[in-house]
Chain A
């Protein structure tokens, strides 16, 4: 998989993720609140243009981790660097490269959207025409241009959430920290937020995204760390995580013709775990549907069957979480 960077407007360059510089490196983070060890040796790194998800239930340690990463919460152990510069509570200047979007709204309800953006923009050193243009751009991104001069307390919950995110984007940070930004948001706003985050990831920003919604992690994140009880239990791309638990993709081909021949032909392919047909549907279990699908379709056609429809069912992160923790993701935080 390659990620496109827009660092050079004149040319789009394909760069392998591993070749991109590391923006955030968190190493062996520890945090204790009294008797509770909220974070236990959490380590991960995020490269330029990469969206990294921390997926776990409420109380797993996501917010504590993100608070330590942005230097808002003192660590009991471990180290955080951004572009190689250490981050801590007292390291004020190093925080300039961070955009932080807290889980709870952090806006001034009695100021307008524009005033909120201008205030925080100035705090990050923006001013003059640069501030003006960035405010206009961000208002466009969060779809609040028409309501720029309205007080934030007149906004719907979704609009307030979008403003909350917009403030974090204003100074074009190297690293954007999003702590469950869609909690309590209506589906329409949630979709808009997810699209905005995906766009930011494509623009080259390094993003740390915490969520307890499996679908969001799957949709947005290049890599996911599954966190539970203060520990990262597993980490990798969605496919790597699924592979970790031995899950196979199920490819369902609706076809006519020689389905028995097609079944036998596909079963012989490398990467195919099993194949069977019934009622005009050929079901094939494969290790990686994305790489095998072209060969699969070619094999079926060669066997004398005509494919009318394709459906791929992949194991999801919910299954991975269940496998790793013994509990369902959506129930774990309750």
Chain B
């Protein structure tokens, strides 16, 4: 064991000295987690400010302002301000106080009721594409609803010999509008993590597979340098060399994930869960990553091919396992397929420790799966790698 620790310590010294492991294991995943969290914060916490210039003041204009647009306010995605004139509304947009202006022209209600064409003018700010699109979409939907209602009113008028009065028409049109925007909370195990936490953990497990391969792949480097032969010519067994390499990877993986968990918590407000449970699942994930990378490496002949194969496996498993997007939103087949990856079980395990009444014990099945994956692949890979080390 002492010799294995010496080899691991030497490896750590080399890896930290060339900074590659710091880049792969900490900097890259942390950077991406921050970027993802910032990008997605714009989606999940979207809030637009609209300014409405109602030049009409009629029943239907008020219905649009108070019913349709107000539903956006009720959904928490928009605030609505009013402007006295179209110029004032446009000035608000140009000044950046509003994302988009909606202008209801004079004669808006009358035109609709008389079946004449009219319009809602939507003027978007330069950097408010999404807010403008929503305003345009809401306006279009309102216009579509009016068109079909107008048709119905005209039909009724023909049949009854007289159209309904203005108030009646407005009531019909207002009733025909379904809420413009409805937020639906999809309850799944993955969604129990906030998006910030989800992508922090996702990037961490994705890059863990790059960091975990360091030990196994460095066997090829030791062989190339001749230092493997030198060690084996001394009182050191091949299994001890492999144990040292594995121990080095284990320490790198644990330290890297711990740093990421702490850093994303502090920097971007990720919530990984109860420390004991997080520690257990980190350990299990690192073991799984080392096992798989050892197995993959044992099939390779050179350092370059081992690095390439491990990277390909890391990316493939990362995509399948939902590190880039929640698999709960993917087709059922993909969701099922993700369960062959440690990534999915890692994210699921973290998710299971969140939510009302959730405990660390809830993550135990995921931890068990991760450990099983690591131990099975690691045992096969270790046996194959031992033959590779011994064969000369």
Contacts and interface: CB of A to CB of B under 8 A. Distances in A.
Interface string A72-101: 111000000000000001101111101010
A73 B392 CA distance: 6
Binding site secondary structure of chain A: loop
A110 interface: yes
Binding site secondary structure of chain B: helix
Max chain B Cβ within 10 angstroms of own Cβ: one of A70, A96, A106, A120:
A106
Contact of B6 (A94, A107, A122, A177): A122
Contact of B235 (A67, A95, A106): A95
Contacts of A123: 3, 6-7, 231, 234-236
Interface stretch (B49-57, B156-164, B172-180, B222-230): B222-230
A137 interface: no
B236 A119 contact: no
Interface string B217-252: 000000001110111111111000000000000000
Interface in B1-46: 3, 6-7, 10, 13-14, 17-18
Contacts of A115: 13
B329 interface: no
Max chain A Cβ within 10 angstroms of own Cβ: one of B14, B227, B392:
B227
B140 interface: no
Given A67-B392, A89-B390, A105 B226 contact: yes
Contacts of B232: 71-72
Interface in B189-217: none
Nearest to B236: A123
Contacts of B236: 92, 123
B235 A70 contact: no
A120 B233 CA distance: 12
Interface in B362-392: 390, 392
Nearest to A168: B230
Contacts of A67: 392
Given A93-B235, A111-B13, A167 B230 contact: yes
A94 B237 CA distance: 12
7 contacts: A92-B235, A100-B233, A104-B226, A106-B227, A111-B10, A119-B6, A124-B234
**Closest 4 A/B residue pairs (Cβ):** A106-B226, A100-B233, A106-B230, A96-B235
Interface of B: 3, 6-7, 10, 13-14, 17-18, 225-227, 229-237, 390, 392
